[in-house]
Amino acid sequence: MIDIKLVRQSPDVVRASQQARGEDPGVVDAILAADGARRSSLAEFESLRAQQKSFGKRVAAARGADKATLVAQAKETSERVKELESASDADGAELETLLRRVGNIIIDGVPTGGEDDYVLRETVGTPRDFAAEGFEPRDHLDLGERLGAIDMERGAKVGGARFYFLTGVGARLELALLNMGMAQAVDHGFTPMITPTLVRADIMDGTGYLDAHDDVYRLDADDLYLTGTSEVALAGFHADEIIDLSNGPKRYAGWSACYRREAGSHGKDTRGIIRVHQFHKVEMFSYCRPEESEAEHERMLQWEKDMLAKVELPYRVIDTAAGDLGGPAARKFDCEAWVPTQGRYRELTSTSNCTTFQARRLGVRERLEQGQGPGTRTVATLNGTLATTRWIVAILENHQQADGSVVVPRALRPFLGLDVLTPVTG
């Protein structure tokens, strides 16, 4: 949630952010009106509440008719205080509802527009020329079935559409990827975490994943949500806490299963394991000081690029446009790997700077240092992907050989225990 102080002090900044996202800038005026109403009703409530507190001593000291009059006034004041408190609470609820309609304020330099309006930051590596090598590349599902690595048919039999089994070397390949991601995270000072994949409604809401998402699984009987990323659990790890960032950011690496309904993807990527309901992921998560968040974001992007270099994939980095960010993110960089059989780049990692948006909702703060004044302030949160199931798609397709085998990237071999994946079927 954005800071109401920012709306009061810099409404044009909020309007510009809304416009860049393709959202209604008029909500800013509604917020200012609701804020004014709430402050007015709160001030009236507090003033009358102070008067109410004085009645006790006055009634005790009064006698006869004066006492009866004061008792009646006290009763009338008490009823009015309750009315004003109710009005103030209603105004506060209206204000919060309006604030929740506003996505995080984008960082200067974020491209304006929607999904196709990203800015290309860099392209790394060159896609293989399979025609020059004399063979037509197979797609990841064809390769996976030949390797005995992917079984979509039985996945659908057990779980329905968009479910799958990773079998044999497929399961080993995923574990190797995730272990390599976790090892890199630990090398850079991250605390490894196995996170809950079911979270309470207040935690899911605090991260912003209930604002405009239709791909979330909910367990109605328990009022719990299945998480689509360990970011949710890691964001909730320090909810309602004051944390110490005097020695730098607090960094966690979460390993979890992830669940997404993919409700808006009917007919998209129905073949293979690109867009599925369940997958595994290692996710970086960082709590840091707000003024350090942009530098931390660049570090997260570099750690993602380091992982992509280890699996030897050609990829590009894009600066995602404001309208494609999602509510919590103030900026997001995606790394997209080349998928030969699709002839295009597909997202493998993303890293988002959520500034103070999530932490404000979740109550994660730090104490102000000496000279900054008394009290606490909201911290910043960031997240980024180190490895997911989808990486298998790019690895199989980019490292395949004419005979259907797949060469294992050198850095991955110690984690997998194999140099080459060989077909088990013709």
CATH classification at residue 374: 3.30.930.10
Query: Does 317 fall in a domain?
Result: yes
Query: Does 52 fall in a domain?
Result: yes
Give 246-267 pLDDT, tens digit per residue: 999 999 999 999 999 987 667 7
Please say whether the beta carbons of 197 and 256 come within 8 A: yes
Same domain assignment for residues 142 and 274: yes
Give 303-318 pLDDT, tens digit per residue: 999 999 999 999 999 9
Q: Where in the sequence numbering do the catalytic residues fall?
A: 260, 275, 347, 350, 390
Query: Does 109 fall in a domain?
Result: no
- Looking only at the bridges linking them, the beta strands covering 224-226 and 198-200 are antiparallel
Please say whether the beta carbons of 285 and 255 come within 8 A: no
The sign of the CA dihedral 318, 312, 400, 416 is: negative
Rounded-to-integer distance, Cα 41 and Cα 198, Å:
39
Same domain assignment for residues 26 and 132: no
Same domain assignment for residues 203 and 292: yes
Q: Kindly indicate the confidence band of residue 215, based on its pLDDT and cuts at 50, 70 and 90.
A: confident
Residue 57 pLDDT more than 60?
A: no
Query: Does 200 fall in a domain?
Result: yes
Last residue of a domain, one of 99, 132, 149: 99
Same domain assignment for residues 119 and 259: yes
Last residue of a domain, one of 70, 99, 128: 99
Predicted TM-score (pTM) of the model is 0.91
Query: Does 106 fall in a domain?
Result: no
Give 62-107 pLDDT, tens digit per residue: 666 776 776 667 677 777 778 878 888 898 899 999 999 999 999 9
Same domain assignment for residues 95 and 140: no
Give 225-249 pLDDT, tens digit per residue: 999 999 999 999 999 999 999 999 9
147 contacts: CB under 8 Å, gap ≥ 6:
168, 169, 170, 396, 404, 406, 421, 422, 423, 424
Residue 426 pLDDT more than 60?
A: no
Tell me which residue range forms the domain holding 373: 115-421
Query: Does 426 fall in a domain?
Result: no
Same domain assignment for residues 230 and 280: yes
Same domain assignment for residues 34 and 149: no
Query: Which pLDDT score is estimated for 347?
Result: 97
Query: Domain holding 47: CATH number?
Result: 1.10.287.40
Query: Does 154 fall in a domain?
Result: yes
Same domain assignment for residues 229 and 306: yes
Same domain assignment for residues 313 and 356: yes
Q: Which two tokens stand for residue 47?
A: 């003033």
Same domain assignment for residues 254 and 363: yes
Q: Which two tokens stand for residue 23?
A: 């959202």
Last residue of a domain, one of 99, 125, 147: 99
Please say whether the beta carbons of 150 and 165 come within 8 A: yes
Same domain assignment for residues 76 and 121: no
Number of domains composing the chain: 2
Query: Does 10 fall in a domain?
Result: yes
Same domain assignment for residues 383 and 269: yes
